[in-house]
Amino acid sequence: MEKIAFAMQLNPGQKKEYVKRHDAIWPELKTLLLEAGIRDYSIFLDEKTNILFVVLRRTADHTMNQLHEEEVMRRWWEFMAPLMKTKTNNEPESRPLELVFHMD
């Protein structure tokens, strides 16, 4: 399993709605993420900056890079777009984070 992290930008005042929507994540989206090899997926919020920090593990044969092709993923992005900074196709803008320390 590979552990990766990335950051996204939540719009001001959207924490409550963002949490609400993730608390009710669509079952078909959860299935899609699991089928893509995504495991142990966590999102943290820095309330001072509204930056979302994502940490997840993915299998060696993951298909994360193809998620943009999936209809349910595109619907989720459209659903979440009003809450966060996105690209023109509603995909959340994200930037990878570099691992600088790890301890088991």
Distances (CA, A) of 91 to 50, 52, 70, 96, 100: 17, 14, 12, 15, 27
Exposure on the CB side of residue 35, measured as CA atoms within 13 A? 11
What region does 50 belong to: left with phi over 0, alpha with psi -120 to 50, or beta? Answer: left
Whether 74 and 68 have beta carbons less than 8 Å apart is answered as yes
Catalytic residues, by residue number, are 22
